[in-house]
A and B are shown apart, each in its own frame.
Chain A
Amino acid sequence: MAKTLSRRDFLKIGGVAAGSAAALAALKNVMSAKASTEIKTAAEEKIVASTCHLCSAGCGILVRVADGKAVKLEGNPMHPVNQGSLCPKGQAAPELLYNPDRLIGPMKRDRASGQLTQIQWAEAIQQVAEKLNSLRDAGHPEQAVLMHGDTRGQMRSFLARFMEAVGSPNVVSHESLNVAAAKLGTYLTQGIYGLPAYDLENANYVISFGANLLEAGPNPQRTISGYTYLRRGRATRGKVVVIDPRQSITASKADEWIPIKPGTDAALALGMANVIIKSGLVDADFVKNYCFGFDNFTSKGDHKGFRDFVLDNYDPAKVEQITGIPATTIARLAGEFAGNGPAVAMLPGKGGLLNGGFSGVYTAMAVHILNALVGSIESKGGVMTQHYMPCADYPKLPSDSVATAGLKTNRLDGAGTKFPLGRNSYQSIADQILEGASVEALFLYDANPAFETPGGKRFTEAFKKVPFVVSFSSFMDESAELADLILPEPTFLERWGDDHIEGFGYPGISIYQPVIEPLYDTMNTGDFFLKVAESMGGTVAKAFAWKSYEEVLQFRLKDIGADWELLKELGVWFNPGYRFAKRGSQHWIDNIVGSERMNAPRDGYFDLYSRELNCFLGEMKKEELAKLGISQTGDGANMPHYEPTTFMGDKKKYPFMLNVVTLMSLGPRSDAANMPTLQEISGMTVRETWDSWLEMNPQSAAKLGLVENDQVKIESPFGRISTKVKLVAGLHPDVVNLPFNQGHTAVGRFAKGRGVNGLEILNPASEPLTGLASFTNTRVKVSK
């Protein structure tokens, strides 16, 4: 077939004909790549599907194993979260696997001398079993406590079951450090304790209240995929607005960045609600028929509803005074949000500004209610509810009087008692121990509380009071350094495990499998506890009849629809396609709205006036509420409202709010700080490397006479640290940012002694109602 000359070819020929002498010279250097190209590669290669464990997204991975070595990770195209992509943490994972500072076998530490001795696994198993049995014999199994980090998939329920069989209610998740505020906000309104999934692919308008979609949310890769699809993947482009005092990468990529006075997000959300209601832009069907408390109502007296409460209190002019955002902007945002649906208001998980006291939970409620007002709950382009794969129920635990008695005791972290609304209060464990609570055995799984909590040094003292501390960390981190037994778990590339696929509403499972044989004498903690159970004998042994943790997974996942071999081959299995529940249907009542409420009615009504909160606060007097940091009384206390943050540190002496931010590169996990590549790229935004820095507005810096790279002292009422200053124009003048995951004093050669840990000088107190850690209510002074 004769080829016609295209315009492109024509131009090319023209280009060559008119080419300069230089171009000809270049042509001379053209060589044939085909002439004698030769490629040598490994003798044996395979690709193994697994799951990444370096942040809470849990992306699917395909690992290239060449001659028995894991050399490269790629994203698993089958996995809905990352769809073949992988972030720098996942890409750098071989540095975790082959890290020279990994622990190579079980060890025990002599407390007096600090001397470490290598031991055998059998000895470790025996010691732990004996300890737990002695606690059970003494009738105090609750004195065994397990703290865990981002433990996902079946491991969480497995560990909980183990502790339940032993007889301790004390399994404490680290969520009070990050996602619990957002979960509580959803719980107190929608009645579901969990992070909402957002249908970004179909949303037309997205407003993020401090949610770092592109860097370090609870599921960054899922929000990145959603964001880029919404922006450039489909015919009509959606708009993204970011509310944040800091111009994060997310904010700089968004259509609009609205800097806000820190801690005032609730006022903005309610100001928007005010305009939406006033302008008649609410989804009338939803608020009238599926919401509780929009209008005033009568129940044992007259009560004010959300509408009047917001109309009376959150006029945009007043909100402007609080937030520093012009009233016209607030009105415009409200109009855009309500008028350009489907619209969704996103809550931050990690890295947000929610954790400044109970005001943070009110903020989460206010933001989530914006979705309800425009009918974006359980609708296309709005909020979805996360469903999970049906896992086979564990066999019923054998009856055991010791365990039953132990499980009836109050939780050590005060969840449900000292913190009536809290589910976990990770950081307060240190306070409880220091205040004299008796803890006889403490297990740290995937947890490094001595580093990752505000005022984490308290754990150093607390651990001294616990006679038996066990760490399962793969590295000698700050907490493992204080443990009596160090029982390293293999890295995620060498062990069995699984993870729930989250972020799309529909259920899915992604598994971890050993892509290579474990490099060192390590043991999967699941296998370890199985062996401990066996060694303990009695009812605990009966509760754990499996031979290996892999068997536990096979048992739990037997009903998901894929057999084990297929699951191993694909790495993932999910039921794609989210079906939105019909408003008011049985499915709606059973799974979507209100079904997890513990006190208030599970009637399928979305609470604009929180009846659940009323169960806790309804009877309280003004003084009692004030003690909890709540200035409103009566109906106001049950509805989201703006509470001025009670900052630690006087504004005159400590003019800046310290915001400790999580980066895409270093992420949330301590072991990632010991990966040299991540250290190298950590400071990309400010051209810094292998160090920490303090971000500051240039004008604020100028007032203090500071220039870029000056070494500065950062002082809060809780301590002082020192690092260099970087000038960042996109930052509220009253806020300074410090990246998280530097300032390690342990972990390994690459992490140790790099920069400072901002959490050291944060307020160590726990919020009195929920037990949440306080991340954003500490003020600091910055000086040369």
Chain B
Amino acid sequence: MTDWCMVIDLEKCVACQGCSIACRFENNTPAVSPQESKNGRAIRWNDVFPLPLHIAPDQGEYPNVKTHYITRPCMHCKNAPCVKVCPVQATFTDEEGIVHQNYNRCIGCRFCTVACPYGVRYFNWFEPKWEETLAEYRNPDQLSVNGSLEGPAVRPTGVVEKCTYCVHRLVKAREQAKVEGRDFRPDEYVPACVQTCTGKARFFGDLDDPDSTVSQLSKSLRAIHLLEDSGAHPKTLYLAEG
């Protein structure tokens, strides 16, 4: 069975934030007002930030310092805590290992945002707003699963949203293959962040296929999971710097 997985090489990541913004334009998460942004309510499903967040006193003094940066999509955990706490099954893992978020079912209780060890679930405090003509560039793709909206569809206020590995792109690629009367190949689909990555640091594919790039990279000695001890069995892999 296909097991979609992303691998991010932190050595090649140059913290340009291209992933973050590609995601924004693919998945319809508009910029928020300056004040909301200052309050930390800007929604970018894949954020890029320095690590650690604040200078610790033991981090060394000039010139013996080194800043690290990390980019953080959803980990699409195999034992996802968010899925377990959702009282209404608005978030669920599909057969191919993608953790979905269904906006019609979500009741906005935010259990999942608290349960997620990675902080990648974003609550929609305000209605997504595009000022005047900015609304023109919205991605028109509307994905619905079992009759309710997911993915890039514009969200109502009060639901939780998150990275979906651009699952609508997967659905579109499968449909395209069907239209052309051929089998779908796993390399026909990558999420927007992977496609745009300026450092070619991101890889995407089927972890279940031992020949895929992600499978090969997952065997690297540099391969790590974030918060391995969280018990969530995160799937998105990082290749550590060094």
In chain B, what residue has the closest Cβ to A676?
B31
Q: Whole-angstrom distance between the alpha carbons of A32 and B65 in the complex?
A: 49
| CB of B99, distance to nearest CB on chain A (Å) | 10
Question: With A37-B171, A88-B21, A224-B198 given, is the CB distance from A72 to B139 under 8 Å?
Answer: yes
B83 touches A29 (CB 8 A): yes
Whether B127 is near chain A, meaning CB under 8 Å from some CB there, is no
A91 touches B145 (CB 8 A): no
Chain B interface, number of residues (Cβ within 8 angstroms): 82
| CB of A70, distance to nearest CB on chain B (Å) | 7
Whether A585 is near chain B, meaning CB under 8 Å from some CB there, is no
> Which of B12, B196, B199 touches A91 (beta carbons < 8 Å)?
B196
B55 touches A86 (CB 8 A): no
Question: With A42-B140, A87-B16, A729-B60 given, is the CB distance from A249 to B69 under 8 Å?
Answer: yes
Q: Whole-angstrom distance between the alpha carbons of A38 and B30 in the complex?
A: 24
A731 touches B62 (CB 8 A): yes
The residues of B that contact A584 with a CB separation of less than 8 Å are none
Chain A interface, number of residues (Cβ within 8 angstroms): 88
Question: With A99-B133, A689-B42 given, is the CB distance from A228 to B20 under 8 Å?
Answer: no
The residues of B that contact A66 with a CB separation of less than 8 Å are 139-140
The residues of B that contact A74 with a CB separation of less than 8 Å are 195-196
Q: Which of B32-40, B116-124, B155-163 contacts A (4 or more CB under 8 A)?
A: B32-40
| CB of A499, distance to nearest CB on chain B (Å) | 18
Q: Which of A19-27, A627-635, A638-646 contacts B (4 or more CB under 8 A)?
A: A19-27
The residues of B that contact A596 with a CB separation of less than 8 Å are none
The residues of A that contact B96 with a CB separation of less than 8 Å are 33
Whether B212 is near chain A, meaning CB under 8 Å from some CB there, is no
Whether A730 is near chain B, meaning CB under 8 Å from some CB there, is yes
Question: With A39-B171, A71-B140, A664-B16 given, is the CB distance from A690 to B38 under 8 Å?
Answer: yes
> Which of B25, B83, B168 touches A72 (beta carbons < 8 Å)?
B25
Whether B206 is near chain A, meaning CB under 8 Å from some CB there, is no
Interface residues of B in 131-152 (CB under 8 A from A): 131-147
B94 touches A228 (CB 8 A): no
Interface centre among B17, B92, B143, B197 (most CB of A within 10 A): B17
Interface residues of A in 86-105 (CB under 8 A from B): 86-88, 90-92, 94-95, 97-100
The residues of A that contact B14 with a CB separation of less than 8 Å are 214, 224, 227-228, 249-250, 253
List A residues at the B interface (Cβ < 8 Å): 6, 8, 22-23, 25-26, 29-42, 66-67, 69-75, 82-88, 90-92, 94-95, 97-100, 214-215, 221, 224-225, 227-229, 231-233, 247, 249-250, 252-253, 257, 259, 664-665, 676-677, 679-681, 684-687, 689-691, 697-699, 727, 729-733, 749, 754
List B residues at the A interface (Cβ < 8 Å): 9, 11-12, 14-18, 20-22, 24-26, 30-32, 34, 37-38, 42, 44, 48-50, 53, 55, 59-63, 65-69, 79-80, 83-84, 86, 89, 91-96, 98, 100, 131-147, 167-168, 171-172, 175, 192, 195-201, 210
21 interchain pairs, CB-CB under 8 A? A22-B84, A25-B84, A29-B84, A35-B145, A40-B142, A66-B139, A72-B192, A85-B199, A86-B18, A88-B16, A95-B31, A95-B134, A98-B134, A98-B135, A214-B16, A224-B16, A224-B199, A233-B200, A252-B67, A684-B48, A731-B62
